[in-house]
Chains A and B, each alone.
Chain A
Amino acid sequence: MKQLIVFIKKEFLEVFRDKRTLLMLLGLPIAQIVLFGFALSSEVKNSKIVVADYSKDVVTSQIISKISASKYFDVEQSLRSADQLQTAFKKGIIKLAVIFPDNFSADLMHTRKASIQIVADASDPNAATTMTNYVTQIINVYNAELDSASGQALQIVPETLMLYNPGLTGPPNFVPGVMALVLMLVCTMMTSVAIVKEKELGTMEILLVSPFKPLYIIIAKLTPNLLISIANYFIIILLSAVFLDLKVKGSIVLLTVDSILFILTSLSIGLLLSIYAKTQQGAMMGSLMGMMLPTMLLTGFLFPIDNMPIVMQWIANIVPSRWYFIIVKNVMLKGLGLGSVWKETLILLSMCLVLFAISLRKFKIRLQ
């Protein structure tokens, strides 16, 4: 046990001494989130929206001017009829409509409550969510101003309607994909490189001649990678909450447990890779080509798996990130519980156990 601690200490020493790699490992999720996030937010900037104002009073025109003043929206035109609205949406000219009902101000003053309808084209769920969030925010700010000006507690209620895609399904959100990709890549690459490095240096031989147990070598090698990957996981969660306004809807405990399971699975793959790779470059290429491509293509992150040829669907089934992706989507985006992801969790767990058992066995045989 004491020997194991000595070894783990040394592993950390090596990881922290290589500042460039460490920076890269921790910077990877940040870069991914920023890249994807930026690509996303640029879509929402200066989006064309329409306003249908059936009330035409002081309050509605104030709200409209607030919305058009925001850098996110260009208020294109004001439409009066519902038909016109529908045509505009169908043609894809507009992505969002803000509708004020009749007697908006009057309702607000008398009943202290009035609602605004926000209709969004949700065929692009990310953009739709972001835009409705922005409008809601503008309305809420205005509401607060109005309250303090009038000294009354008034309630402007934004009612959101997602057109075409009420469940916000469709092109999936990228965050679960980034999580799967980053965790898989970092785990397999770091682990395989770390072990192959010992082989290249010749230190592995010394370790094998020493009384140090092979299982301990594996544990010591995996520990820093496990911790860095858990850190990466939390970085992604934090970044998406802060910058993308994407909070974990379901249980964070469940998501974390499943993520650790996925991390362990990826670490086992890295371990397996390291047994076959002879050089660090080989290990690196193996993890990049062998892991990144299947993760990108067969996870359902870029292309829906249901649309793939049946053979590809079978292959996709053995890609661990495929299952992890479903878990993250369900727990993080939809807020579902263990009941909806127990099957995926079980699949991940068995993959993890099988892979670890195989690599442990191979690792031992290799020593002979």
Chain B
Amino acid sequence: MPPVIITEKLTKKFGDFIAASELTFQVEKGEIFGFLGANGAGKTTAMRMLCGLLTPSSGTASIAGFDVYKQTEKIKMKIGYMSQKFSLYDDLTVSENIRFYSGIYGMNNMQIRKKTPELLEELQLNQEAKTLVRDLPLGWKQKLAFSVSIAHDPDIVFLDEPTGGVDPVTRRQFWDLIYHASQKGVTVFVTTHYMDEAEYCNRVSIMVDGVIAALDSPVNLKKQYGGTMEDVFYGLARNAKRKED
């Protein structure tokens, strides 16, 4: 089985500014791939290129077998996306949000009617199906947002700092959902600022100033640089020249 994400010297320039420089990496199917880096290191730019939102300046990349230059529409069918804002409609109910997001991915009514109870069951949100999302606790919103982002069974799900502002217990529960998805074969591409979360990943890449400074499993990284995951990160990020944008 070929890797689901393959990039080769993927670069994005904004004028003279090189936001992401010659990113080369591969992510296997079902892998949980952590993407670390200080703010402004180029994580978002990299992720946007992979999602087909941003056209790369040079280099190549294929997502689920599709080319990021020419087949963005096909890529969009194969990926899910969740950001730290959770991106649900506050004024819609839980089931209306599920119906809407499944609907815009082209799922038909029958599929949605089958999927909705499954999803609610998995999240134990059966009682809350008719609750407005704005009345849900933060942790539930976050779990719902994740489930919605993989409701259309994508090959890859991109999570952009999905656990921002959530307490450690809920974060742990959230990672259970991620593991569950990964076991079902969904590839998880996740950016985070939390070092404990980095430990949950199969492999971690650390970006500094638009370049991938290190890429390996957490165990190997710790061995190579010494100390904890935190030490590894600070050791690399300390040398960054770029300021936060």
Per a CB cutoff under 8 Å, which of A6, A201, A368 touches B87?
A201
Q: Interface code B78-97, partner A: CB below 8 Å = 1, 0 otherwise?
A: 01011111111111100010
**Interface pick from A12-20, A139-147, A234-242, A311-319:** A12-20
Decide: B103 and A206 in contact? CB cutoff 8 A: no
* A193 → B minimal CB distance (Å): 13
A207 to B53 CA separation, bound complex (whole angstroms): 11
Decide: B88 and A203 in contact? CB cutoff 8 A: yes
Which interface class (under 10, 10 to 19, 20 to 34, 35 or more) fits A?
20 to 34
Interface centre among A3, A203, A207, A208 (most CB of B within 10 A): A203
A18 to B91 CA separation, bound complex (whole angstroms): 8
Decide: B53 and A211 in contact? CB cutoff 8 A: no
A13 to B92 CA separation, bound complex (whole angstroms): 8
Decide: B100 and A6 in contact? CB cutoff 8 A: yes
- Chain A residues 128 to 162 lying within 8 A of chain B, measured CB to CB, are none
For the A-B complex, the count of residue pairs with Cβ-Cβ distances under 8 Å equals: 75
Q: Check: A56 CB closer than 8 A to any chain B CB.
A: no
Per a CB cutoff under 8 Å, which of A201, A202, A205, A210 touches B104?
A210
* A202 → B minimal CB distance (Å): 3
The closest CB in chain A to the CB of B158 belongs to A209
Known contacts A6-B103, A202-B83, A209-B81, A14 near B76 by CB under 8 Å:
no
Q: Interface code A193-217, partner B: CB below 8 Å = 1, 0 otherwise?
A: 0000000011101111111100000
Q: Check: A7 CB closer than 8 A to any chain B CB.
A: yes
Q: Check: A367 CB closer than 8 A to any chain B CB.
A: yes
Decide: A211 and B77 in contact? CB cutoff 8 A: yes
Decide: A210 and B86 in contact? CB cutoff 8 A: no
SS of A interface (majority): helix
Contacts of B215 in A (CB 8 A): none
Decide: A205 and B105 in contact? CB cutoff 8 A: no
Known contacts A2-B108, A18-B91, A201-B87, A206 near B76 by CB under 8 Å:
no
Q: Please, how many residues of chain B have a CB less than 8 angstroms from a CB on the other chain?
A: 32
Contacts of B235 in A (CB 8 A): none
Decide: B85 and A201 in contact? CB cutoff 8 A: yes
Decide: A206 and B81 in contact? CB cutoff 8 A: yes
Contacts of B76 in A (CB 8 A): 209-211
Q: Check: A45 CB closer than 8 A to any chain B CB.
A: no
* B99 → A minimal CB distance (Å): 8
Contacts of A368 in B (CB 8 A): 53-55
Decide: B85 and A202 in contact? CB cutoff 8 A: yes
Decide: A14 and B91 in contact? CB cutoff 8 A: yes
Contacts of B55 in A (CB 8 A): 368
A19 to B178 CA separation, bound complex (whole angstroms): 38
- Chain A residues 1 to 44 lying within 8 A of chain B, measured CB to CB, are 2-3, 6-7, 10, 13-14, 17-18
Interface residues of B (CB under 8 A from A): 51-55, 73, 76-77, 79, 81-92, 96, 99-101, 103-106, 108, 149, 158
**Could you give 17 example pairs across A and B, Cβ below 8 Å?**
A3-B104, A6-B99, A7-B104, A10-B92, A14-B89, A14-B92, A18-B91, A201-B85, A205-B83, A206-B82, A208-B53, A209-B52, A211-B76, A212-B104, A367-B53, A368-B54, A368-B55
**Cβ-closest 7 pairs across A and B:** A202-B85, A6-B103, A209-B81, A211-B76, A202-B87, A212-B104, A206-B87
